Amino acid sequence: MTTTLLTARFDTGERQRLEAAIGPVDTAGFGVDGIVMPHEELLGRVSGLTRLLVEFEQIDEQVLDAAPDLTVVACCRNEPGASVDIEAATARGIPVLFTPGRNATAVAEYTLGLMIAATRGIASAHHALRHTDAFTAQPTGDADSRRDATAQWSLDPGAPFDTYQGPELSGRTLGIVGFGIIGREIARLGRAFGMSVLVYDPYVTPGALEQNDVRGVGLAELAARSDIVTVAAKVTPESRGVVSRTFFEAMRPNAYFVNTARAALVDYDALVDALRSRSIAGAALDVYPVEPLPSDSPLLSLDNVVLSPHLAGASTDVVRHHSRQLVDDILRIERGERPRFLANPGVYAAEATA
């Protein structure tokens, strides 16, 4: 009988590496059929398990009580508390592994993509060309005579060339609120585009700023000096609403705002007001106070915002990343070593003093 249950999406090669070390791994739940396993079904499957690897299944006190032999819970998420009751696991002496930065590259690349989409009008132009007749209303009978021309789109006011002109990223200033794993990757990509980078993060060290070739500034200075602002912070009591109405009022009218982090970091009412009044040039958003985005959201009626349905982390490579991270740490535990990514380090501290 296997004593390891995997309900997360998982890379085949990494699963084979895990099984080579610990024996067969049973699979079920979201990782098999894309449906989160019902709580009652999970309760009926965990007795006798020593290892439980999850992504979206909820591991609460009931599950932990039903699995008294558990020695490790591994969660394929940046924020394991979204799936695992870490306090309850800690009280039972069970280490909780997690995968910080599993989607850092995916989110950072998507963030840069949204910056370009917003500043250069890519999404708006695509929609206008594909779903309206704004730019395609001319007759096509003379298409052959125009086939070899270098440019036949109108250059008149209101034509695409006029409507969708926007700034290059190169030479602009990027402001990043929060400088963890994802924030640092956004900074790296921004510098690759030729941007200078300002950072607001009261917890980052001067050494980390210097190492990443960025400049730390206060929140007000970042708002006032940045051509594009993006958010890459975790939601904490201190960071909730950090991008406030005052922040948007300090931004320049030609500046853009991008959020691929969490909606709770931002005053969305103030953002809507800034977009409506055009006190900022535009925004690109992947997260919202209510998800899915309600059909009556005022954001849907604005022409200076690019919207996407929480896709920044949806890369086909994320599963490979989190699988490798968890297998590496489970094998560390098997060798008697301390795991690298531990959500409750107090478990190991308690063992050391026992």
**Residue written as tokens 């002109």?**
165
Write out the two tokens for 188: 């790296």
Q: Of residues 51, 172, 225, 262, which has the active-site annotation?
A: 262
Q: Of residues 291, 334, 337, 351, which has the active-site annotation?
A: 291
Q: Are 259 and 288 in contact (CB under 8 A)?
A: no
What does R_g of the chain's alpha carbons equal in angstroms? Answer: 24
CA distance 113 to 24: 41
Annotated active-site residue 291? The verdict is yes
| Phi and psi torsions of 182, nearest 5° | -70, -40
**Alpha-carbon torsion, ordered 60, 66, 68, 72, to 10 deg:** -40
Annotated active-site residue 55? The verdict is no
Q: Are 51 and 74 in contact (CB under 8 A)?
A: yes
Annotated active-site residue 310? The verdict is yes
Q: Of residues 310, 320, 324, 332, which has the active-site annotation?
A: 310
Determine if the peptide bond prior to 167 is cis (ω within 30°).
no
CA distance 48 to 30: 21
CA distance 207 to 193: 23
The contacts found for 265-269 with CB under 8 angstroms, 24 or more apart, are 265/177, 265/178, 265/231, 265/233, 265/235, 265/239, 265/240, 265/241, 266/231, 266/241, 266/242, 267/241, 267/243, 269/245
Angle between helices 181-192 and 104-120 (to 10 degrees): 50
Strand partners, 258: 230, 284
Residues designated as active site = 262, 291, 310
